[in-house]
């Protein structure tokens, strides 16, 4: 491949990946807004969807593979089906925190806003366009930073989809880099990585960072505000136009007295799709098989559980320390967050060439690195973006006046102020760590296979053997454990601090 | 329940309204058999903190349902209700003008005429020229003026006010009280009745034609006092002071 061909190939691949990411982002945004608003505004929707989302969030990305591939590829063919399953897989890695972001920002709206909606009898569509959507803007902005990174991180997994012996490759930057790596094409590999860095860097500098700075008031980000303002103006204009047309159309419809119907949100339970795929009857042998998988799972679960929480604690310690540095040295803080944004976006497989030499001698270190890559960032962004911006000026002033400094400031002012963000980040980080166990505990690189044991390793081996039932059962048991821990431990801690740690 | 009728000369009639809710497994009674009529007049509801005044106002607004009893509007159509919240409740992402036109647009008023009405009411409350400001750029008194303008812009039949001056500094509150009275007395807006919840006795006496005094929880109507003092009133007038003392007797 000469330089010209390489450039053309790279441009096409980059555009395709970017297109996939954008499509996944826009769909996630719509999904997050509709679901988040519905959950926050309707008790019934909330009581049904909240536990379902909790489960879906904790199902590892790999758990979606067989079901998604089966449905999309068998019904739409490998081209359109492959494309759709790729977008779907990216969505599964970026939509959850966006949904919970929208949900919690509307939940925390001042109750008098609800009275306003009720007293002036604002129709659903008006409440949606004028109140709930603008109210969740800052949370959408800050969560987009996390999601965008999550999307790139899973890009290679979403572009090179393998299930057993069958592998589907989609043209894109992720598959381009993997191919270059496999063919030992240093030139293509380096330019591919460079293109990836550029796309990530530029998207953060001109879109996500200024977007978040504008709507959350955080100052710890690097970004080109002027470039973003052009985009923001164009988007606001288009949005204003859409709102006006929607409201005008609604008024016409309302005048002829057609009642607006409620939006019914359907959730798909991927495990149920298994039957569609295999057309297997539910008989006794199936149950006993699932039970066997359960025993296998229990054997490996404790070691993964320990690793997961070790990673969460490490992530918390690192993030709090970095947050403190960012808080006291703003310029350094900006660089820290920017480096975080880029590092968190680098797809898992891109780290391999760097980690390969370490793998033989120090596999535990490599495993922990991969674990951290999939988990640290949730708590990092939560603490460094939401946390720091929630520190009240008046509290900082108070500590200056009374000369509260150093360790006392850290333990009595800084950490308690950030506690809601620290815990929210810790909760997401534990979910991320469970997901990351798949990539961290079973590493195949060329001829080298490193098996560290654990749930992730088990899932990997089952997937490689094409054991769909095994993958689904293990994912299911894993979700059960995650939900159980969330409901018994995390929910209690979060409930306890709510109300105590809100600075008035 | 809110119903409409047209044969009598009251505007709003509250008939035997009771309200209770379940809290911690126990039934808590907030309002007990409340009845009164409101004509084309300014009525204040006064009572101790937490007695259920605001709940009563929300029941009149139709936002909350009474456990028993009903609210009747003597109009031939659905009543238009303006509500002045205790706190300004402005949407921070909207300009002053957009905040005021929101209820108008929601009822299907054309945008251009909604803007016209909003500009007019903003001028009436003394905020002409502040249309493009955001709530964060306004003082507390100005925010409360926007709250009032929003309630007036929809040209309500009945204006409900929930302790509208309680969170303002005394001077701003004083000014705003007389402005609201001026708007009401000048009849430039088609408001038929004003019902204001307050726990400021002096404010109630100076502003209203009638003061309804509620008992502590569960709130019952203790006394309805007609304030037959000629306007304009001020707190130094002996009749006003006498009336304030009289109302205080019932409140305490």
pLDDT digits (tens, 9 = 90+) for A455-503: 888 988 887 777 778 888 888 888 888 888 887 887 788 777 765 554 4
Instruction: Report pLDDT for A266.
Output: 32
Most confident of A27-36, A72-81, A239-248, A432-441: A27-36
The per-residue pLDDT for range A98-148, each reduced to its tens digit, is: 898 888 888 878 778 888 888 888 888 888 888 888 888 888 988 888 888
**Average pLDDT score over residue span A388-412:** 73
Nearest CA in chain A to B80: A120
Picking from B2, B82, B89 by the largest number of A CB atoms within 10 A of its own CB, the best residue to mutate is B89
Nearest CA in chain A to B54: A115
Picking from A105, A115, A122 by the largest number of B CB atoms within 10 A of its own CB, the best residue to mutate is A115
Residue B112 at interface with chain A, using a CB cutoff of 8 Å: no
Per the CB < 8 Å rule, is A116 touching B89? yes
Nearest CA in chain A to B156: A120
Residue A135 at interface with chain B, using a CB cutoff of 8 Å: yes
Instruction: Report pLDDT for A415.
Output: 86
Alpha helices in chain B (DSSP H): 53-61, 96-106, 111-124, 140-153, 170-186, 201-207, 238-251
Residue B58 at interface with chain A, using a CB cutoff of 8 Å: yes
Per the CB < 8 Å rule, is A120 touching B89? no
The alpha-carbon gap from A69 to the nearest alpha carbon of chain B, in Å, equals: 43
Tell me what the pLDDT averaged over chain A comes to: 80
pLDDT band for position A164 (50/70/90)?
A: low
Residue A117 at interface with chain B, using a CB cutoff of 8 Å: no
Per the CB < 8 Å rule, is A123 touching B83? no
Q: Which residues of chain B have pLDDT under 70?
A: 1-8
Show residues of chain B in contact with A126, CB under 8 Å: 102, 105-106
Per the CB < 8 Å rule, is B85 touching A116? yes
Interface confidence: ipTM more than 0.90: no
**Average pLDDT score over residue span A69-96:** 80
Per the CB < 8 Å rule, is B91 touching A115? no
pLDDT band for position A64 (50/70/90)?
A: low
Per the CB < 8 Å rule, is B108 touching A122? no
Instruction: Report pLDDT for A273.
Output: 46
Residue A131: closest CA among A112, A149, A148, A146? A112
Please determine, for residue A60, whether its predicted confidence score (pLDDT) is greater than 80. Answer: no
The per-residue pLDDT for range A276-312, each reduced to its tens digit, is: 555 444 556 777 888 888 899 999 999 999 999 999 9
Contacts of A181 (CB under 8 A, 6+ apart): A189, A349, A352, A353
Please determine, for residue A59, whether its predicted confidence score (pLDDT) is greater than 90. Answer: no
Instruction: Report pLDDT for A367.
Output: 86
Instruction: Report pLDDT for A330.
Output: 83
Question: For the CA atoms of B164, B166, B172, B174, what is the dihedral angle to 10 degrees?
Answer: 80
The per-residue pLDDT for range A10-58, each reduced to its tens digit, is: 999 999 999 999 999 999 999 999 999 888 888 888 888 877 787 677 6
Instruction: Report pLDDT for A11.
Output: 92
Show residues of chain A in contact with B93, CB under 8 Å: 134-135, 137
Give first-to-last CA distance, chain A, whole Å. Answer: 63
Per the CB < 8 Å rule, is B93 touching A251? no
Residue B106 at interface with chain A, using a CB cutoff of 8 Å: yes
Per the CB < 8 Å rule, is A121 touching B91? no
Please determine, for residue A71, whether its predicted confidence score (pLDDT) is greater than 50. Answer: yes
The per-residue pLDDT for range A328-386, each reduced to its tens digit, is: 888 888 888 888 888 888 876 677 777 777 777 788 888 888 888 888 888 888 888 87
Choose the closest CB to A123 out of B61, B86, B106: B106
**Average pLDDT score over residue span A389-414:** 73
Instruction: Report pLDDT for A63.
Output: 54
Residue A147: closest CA among A93, A208, A202, A228? A93
Residue A214 at interface with chain B, using a CB cutoff of 8 Å: no
Burial class from Cβ neighbours inside 10 Å (0-12, 13-18, 19+) for residue A109 reads middle
pTM here?
A: 0.73
Instruction: Report pLDDT for A264.
Output: 34
Alpha helices in A382-440 (DSSP H): 388-389, 393-401, 406-408, 415-440
Q: What does DSSP assign to residue A204?
A: I
Residue A131 at interface with chain B, using a CB cutoff of 8 Å: yes
Residue A157: closest CA among A252, A226, A88, A218? A88
Per the CB < 8 Å rule, is B89 touching A113? yes
Instruction: Report pLDDT for A245.
Output: 86
Give the Cα-Cα-Cα angle B114, B118, B120 (nearest 5 degrees).
120
Instruction: Report pLDDT for A271.
Output: 44
């Amino acid at each position: 491949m000469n330089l010209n061909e390489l450039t053309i190939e790279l441009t096409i691949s980059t555009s395709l990946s970017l297109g996939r990411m954008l499509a996944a982002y826009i769909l996630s945004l719509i999904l997050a807004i509709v679901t988040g608003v519905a959950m926050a505004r309707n008790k019934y929707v909330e009581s049904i969807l909240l536990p379902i989302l909790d489960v879906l969030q904790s199902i590892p990305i790999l758990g979606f593979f067989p079901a998604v591939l089966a449905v999309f590829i068998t019904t739409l063919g490998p081209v359109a089906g492959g494309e759709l399953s790729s977008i779907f897989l990216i969505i599964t890695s970026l939509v959850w925190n966006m949904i919970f972001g929208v949900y919690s920002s509307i939940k925390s709206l001042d109750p008098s806003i609800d009275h306003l909606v009720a007293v002036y009898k604002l129709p659903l569509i008006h409440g949606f366009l004028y109140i709930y959507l603008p109210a969740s803007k800052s949370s959408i902005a800050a969560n987009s930073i996390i999601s965008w990174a999550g999307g790139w991180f899973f890009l290679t997994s979403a572009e090179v989809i393998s299930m057993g012996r069958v592998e589907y490759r989609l043209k894109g930057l992720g598959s381009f880099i993997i191919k270059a790596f496999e063919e030992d094409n240093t030139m293509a590999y380096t330019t591919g990585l460079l293109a990836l860095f550029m796309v990530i860097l530029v998207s953060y500098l001109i879109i996500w960072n200024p977007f978040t700075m504008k709507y959350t008031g955080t100052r710890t980000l690097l970004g080109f505000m002027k470039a973003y303002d052009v985009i923001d103006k164009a988007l606001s204009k288009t949005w204003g136009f859409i709102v006006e047309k929607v409201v005008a159309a609604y008024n016409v419809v309302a005048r002829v007295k057609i009642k607006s119907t409620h939006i019914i949100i359907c959730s798909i339970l991927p495990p149920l799709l298994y039957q569609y795929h295999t057309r297997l009857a539910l008989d006794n042998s199936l149950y006993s098989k699932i039970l066997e998988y359960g025993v296998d799972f229990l054997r490996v679960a404790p070691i993964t559980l320990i690793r997961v929480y070790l990673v969460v604690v490490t992530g918390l310690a690192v993030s709090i320390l970095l947050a403190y540095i960012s808080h006291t040295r703003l310029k350094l803080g900006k660089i820290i967050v920017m480096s975080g944004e880029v590092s968190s976006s680098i797809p898992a497989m891109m780290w391999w060439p760097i980690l390969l030499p370490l793998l033989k001698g120090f596999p535990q270190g490599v495993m922990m690195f991969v674990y951290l890559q999939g988990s640290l960032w949730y708590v990092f962004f939560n603490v460094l973006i939401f946390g720091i911006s929630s520190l009240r000026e008046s509290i900082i002033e108070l500590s200056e006046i009374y000369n509260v400094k150093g360790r006392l400031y850290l333990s009595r002012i800084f950490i308690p102020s950030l506690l809601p963000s620290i815990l929210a980040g810790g909760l997401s980080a534990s979910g991320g760590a469970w997901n990351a166990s798949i990539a961290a505990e079973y590493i195949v690189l060329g001829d080298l296979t490193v098996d560290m044991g654990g749930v992730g390793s088990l899932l990997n081996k089952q997937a490689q053997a094409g054991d769909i039932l095994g993958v689904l059962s293990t994912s299911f048991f894993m979700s059960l454990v995650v939900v159980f821990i969330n409901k018994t431990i995390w929910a209690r801690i979060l409930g306890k601090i709510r109300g105590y740690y809100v600075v008035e | 329940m809110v119903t409409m009728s047209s044969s009598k000369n009251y505007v709003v009639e509250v008939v035997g309204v009771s309200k209770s809710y379940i809290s911690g497994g126990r039934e808590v009674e907030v309002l007990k058999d409340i009845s009164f009529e409101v004509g084309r007049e300014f009525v204040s509801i006064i009572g101790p903190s937490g007695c259920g005044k605001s709940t009563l106002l929300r029941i009149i607004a139709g936002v909350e349902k009474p456990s028993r009893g009903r609210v009747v509007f003597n109009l031939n159509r659905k009543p238009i209700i303006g509500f002045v919240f205790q706190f300004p409740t402005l949407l921070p992402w909207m300009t002053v003008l957009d905040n005021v036109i929101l209820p108008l647009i929601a009822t299907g008023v054309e945008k251009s005429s909604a803007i016209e009405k909003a500009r007019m009411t903003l001028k009436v409350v003394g905020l002409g020229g502040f249309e493009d400001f955001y709530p964060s750029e306004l003082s507390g008194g100005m925010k409360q003026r926007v709250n009032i303008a929003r309630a007036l812009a929809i040209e309500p039949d009945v204006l409900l006010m929930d302790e509208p001056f309680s969170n303002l500094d005394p001077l701003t509150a004083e000014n705003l009280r007389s402005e609201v009275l001026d708007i009401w007395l000048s009849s430039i807006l088609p408001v038929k009745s004003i019902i204001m919840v307050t726990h400021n006795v002096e404010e109630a006496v100076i502003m209203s034609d009638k003061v309804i005094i509620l008992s502590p929880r569960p709130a019952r109507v203790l006394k309805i006092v007609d304030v037959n003092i000629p306007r304009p009133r001020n707190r130094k007038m002996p009749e006003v002071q006498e009336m304030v003392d009289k109302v205080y007797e019932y409140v305490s």
